Amino acid sequence: MKHIKVLGSGCANCKAVAKLITTVATEKGIAIELEKVEEMREIMRFGILSTPGVVVDDKVVHSGGIPSRSNVEQWLMA
C-alpha cells in the first residue's frame, strides 16, 4: 500500500490533487492511504515552499501546482 500525503492549505488545487490521486489509484486498482496535511509546521518539515505538495512513502515527489496524470501514475507504480 502506498502512503500519500497531500500538503497544502486546503485550497482548490490541493483538493484537485487529492482527487486526481484517488481517481488514478482507483482506476489502476492500487491501494493507497491518502492523508491531507494542512498544518503549516508539518508542511515546512518536508521543505515544501509552494503548495500543493505530494509526498509518497515519505519522499517528496512534487510541489507547486497540479501534477500531470502521467506523473501520478508513475508515483503509484513505483
Closest CA to 31 of 70, 57, 68: 57
User: Which segments of 1-78 does DSSP mark as H helices, in order?
Assistant: 12-28, 40-45, 69-77
Q: Please, what are the domains in the chain?
A: 2-77 (3.40.30.10)
3-state secondary structure of 11: coil
Residue 6's pLDDT is 98
Residue 67's pLDDT is 98
Residues of the chain with pLDDT under 70: none
